[in-house]
Amino acid sequence: MFGNLQYIVFFGAIVHLCGTFFYLRNTLRGVTKPNRVSFLMWGIAPLISTAAAILAGVGWAILPTFLAGFGPLIIFVASFANKNAYWKLGFFDYICGLLSASALVLWVVTNNPLLAILFALLSDVAAAIPTLIKSWNFPETETAVSYVTSGFSAFTGFFAVQRGDISEYIFGLYIITMNIIILSFLYRKKIAAKFVKL
């Protein structure tokens, strides 16, 4: 850790929690409809990646990744509190969940922390597919600010990097990239409309 840079990570964590709060509030109100497959697996995969990274010797840089798992688990549980906050799951959602869970099982059978992080990434990608499809087709069922704060939190984790190896960077880079993709899906119609006006 260099100087007071760890406080940037803590600030990012607070920002992330604020985004989680807004998503949680909208879920409880039935405005936002999280895909339970995505949010359950999004909760589990980053926490496994966190455990693997800690085993690999990563320090505070892993805090944003931990929060990337903690928030979705809370939202997953909250989705049961309001029947209007439930996004109906289809066969494809369950297939993605199965693929995601399979990647997590592969983590269990390996003692290699880097492989564990890779499997956690694959699991997270499989879990993201249902929400990516939903964000493309039904952007009104999402709360965009939570993806902004999640990406920002992941970015602040880079300020806590100690050794500079791939285990400290990879999941944070992935989280930022996935959040940008989801946000682009949520705002694609507005962005396209602006280009049409030009």
How does pLDDT run along the chain (198 residues), one tens digit per residue?
A: 445 667 888 898 899 899 999 999 999 998 999 988 889 888 887 787 788 778 777 777 677 778 878 889 999 999 998 777 766 788 888 888 888 888 778 876 777 777 777 877 888 888 899 999 999 999 999 999 999 999 998 898 888 776 667 767 888 899 899 999 999 999 998 887 777 665
Domain boundaries, the chain: 6-197
Contact 85, 34 (CB under 8 A): yes
Reduced to 3 states, what is the DSSP secondary structure of residue 143?
Answer: coil
d(CA 177, CA 181): 6
Report pTM.
Answer: 0.82
Contact 93, 37 (CB under 8 A): yes
H or E element in which residue 198 lies:
none
